[in-house]
Chains A and B, each alone.
Chain A
Amino acid sequence: MKKLINSVETVLTESLSGFCQAHERIVVGDEQLRFVRRKELKRGKVALISGGGSGHEPLHIGFVGHGMLDAACPGQVFTSPTPDQMVAAAEAVHTGAGVLFIVKNYEGDVMNFDMAKEMLSVEVATVLTNDDVAVETSTYSTGRRGVAGTMVVEKIVGAAAEEGQDLRALQHLGEHVNSRTRSMGIALTSCTVPAAGKPTFQIGDDEMELGVGIHGEPGRRRVKLMSADEIAAEMVGAILNDFGHAAKGEALLLINGFGGTPLMEPYLMYHSTRRLLEARGLKVVRSLVGNFVTSLEMAGCSVTVSLLDPEMKRLWDAPVDTAALRWGM
């Protein structure tokens, strides 16, 4: 394992400490680093809290700030945070208008946030994100995973919260955005969880994992490496099939690097993907390219398409000031 660390045990606390120092204008870390919160709270606003396993930076801590999250709870690497973290975060940032949890659909995250909700006396609502089309759901399965589309939900709901919308309205908006957002990812190489010390999965030099999850977990199938255009066609095909007849009108296109891919390649993928979307009649009116929802040092990327209605577009454009997204301020 080759990483810039001092010890496996202190990776998370040292990294979080550095994050809070580097972005001290925007965020403050809880003393025990159970959560990272927005430095200046807005009274009377619904408190937005997200969280999940670490190793996906900048998600979620990088989205704490004006126009997005009020607090984020980082768990151990690829491990859900524990309920005491969400309870402490909620108690620190709620200002009387209730708390909205934005949770990626993994059983650990769902259960820990549920327990926190049961332990809190303030009003709490939850939005679950499940934008990954790679793994089909069935009646009995865990259901789809929440991946890069989560940040689209956090941005749009965050803007609405900043405007003063109430808890129910924000919950409905979050569900609406999630329902209009789909993602799919591919991996070229594995990632290495510091505590495990070795790659999460083995993959040949000439292979890729199609439909990979953001923890390096398997997706649809292992295939021989394809050209960028062919990969884009696989991902766009899966996303548009899933949208079915809904896939029309204006769209947001997010190409998200998984952490080990230089930005040159996601931009190339953007080019391939946008052409395909436009050939299918979608109008790409908002775009984002970069490393936002990563999987440690995994190489590869995901494509997220969000079908924008005018309200979603307006809220996407609203000012935001976080470590990882900043515009309009």
Chain B
Amino acid sequence: MELTADLKAALIRQVAEAVISHADELTALDQAIGDGDHGVNLKRGFEAVLAQLNTLAEKDPGEILKAVGTALVMKVGGASGPLYGTLFMTMGKHLPPKFSLSDLAQAFTAGVEAVKVRGKSDVGQKTMLDVLVPVARTLQESNDDLLSKLKTVAESSAHATIPMKAVRGRASFLGERSVGHMDPGARSSSLMVLAVVETLENHR
């Protein structure tokens, strides 16, 4: 599949719009176990990304990711700004202009590792990492039917955060009271992965 300017623009737009159109749902999830601003904050960040859409789509993929990350860091605030900013910026740094699937898997994994360091966290703690880590693993392992596998993993891993007890982030102050709610960061991560997969499927 060739990464044309049209496809790059579609990827940016679909990811941004997936987050923006689910802002209320993300905020509701965050009100249950956090401070209730996840949707509002991410929406502000992705609106800033959309505002740069035309200039972004002309750049190399790595540069796009870095620019998206910077926009999120500067506009989102809270914990999700630095975390998503770090994910996108690190991926961007590791992604060559012409890349293979294994380059992409490596860049994504580097981004996820950087999120672990930034958030001093890892899988099993009811965070975005509970989606990002399995997605990275799927990217590394799977060759056939990759897109549909990614979709399944993104959805099921976000759902898998529902019975978890939060030990990171503001939800951790709730302890047992955090059990029974999907983690808003896991949900937003899964929305972004799904948007990428669906855009690529439509371009096949």
Contacts and interface: CB of A to CB of B under 8 A. Distances in A.
Interface of A: 75-76, 78-84, 106-108, 111-112, 114-115, 135, 138, 140-142, 145, 193, 195-196, 200, 213, 215, 217-219
B184 interface: no
Given A135-B173, A217-B35, A217-B170, A111 B77 contact: no
Nearest to A119: B73
B82 A196 contact: no
Interface string B63-85: 00000000001111111111101
B118 A111 contact: yes
B82 A111 contact: yes
Contacts of A217: 35, 170, 173
B173 A107 contact: no
Given A107-B119, A111-B119, A115-B82, A215 B35 contact: yes
B169 interface: yes
B77 A218 contact: no
Q: At the interface, is chain A mostly helix, strand, loop or mixed?
A: loop
Nearest to A141: B172
Interface string B7-42: 000000000000000000000000100011100110
Q: 8 shortest A-B CB distances, which residue pairs?
A: A111-B82, A108-B79, A108-B78, A140-B167, A107-B79, A79-B77, A79-B78, A141-B172
Contact of A218 (B41, B82, B86, B173): B173
Contacts of B41: 76, 79
Q: At the interface, is chain B mostly helix, strand, loop or mixed?
A: helix
Given A78-B37, A79-B41, A140-B125, A112 B177 contact: no
Interface in B165-204: 167-170, 172-174, 177
Contacts of B31: 196
Nearest to B89: A115
Contacts of A142: 168-170, 172-173
Contacts of A138: 167
21 contacts: A76-B37, A76-B41, A76-B77, A78-B35, A79-B78, A80-B79, A82-B75, A108-B78, A108-B81, A111-B81, A112-B82, A114-B118, A115-B82, A115-B85, A140-B125, A140-B168, A145-B173, A193-B36, A195-B37, A200-B36, A217-B173
